Amino acid sequence: MIYKIKATNKHNGEIIEFDLEGNAVEGFCYFDEELKEATHLQEVRDNKIREVNNNIILHNSPIYTISSGETAIIDSMSFEILIKAE
């Protein structure tokens, strides 16, 4: 499944958008366009994306339970994260 991620930094308003692919059983990957390869979500080279990913997996994330077509929001200290499952 593809997950569209849109994270808004609460401190400076910066918006970070990217896709994750995978599922709760096999895990989730981020496709690094520069490297042309899939990377585990906690091993992403981009610090901002990795920080968002860490927030996603540490906050009882709905990414493990939402189904295709559903949307969920995570409200962490630094980010408001919108997750859309496709």
Whether the CB-CB separation of 83 and 75 falls below 8 Å is answered with: no
In whole angstroms, what is the distance from residue 76 CA to residue 38 CA? 26
Global pTM value: 0.88
Residue 7 pLDDT: 98
Q: Which domain, by its residues, includes 42?
A: 2-85
Radius of gyration of the chain (CA): 12
Could you give the C-alpha distances from 45 to 19, 32, 38, 40, in angstroms and in order? 15, 8, 11, 10
Q: How far apart are CA 25 and CA 10, in angstroms?
A: 31
> From first to last of its 86 residues, what are the pLDDT tens digits of the chain?
999 999 999 999 999 999 999 988 888 999 888 878 898 888 898 999 999 999 998 867 888 899 999 999 999 999 999 999 99
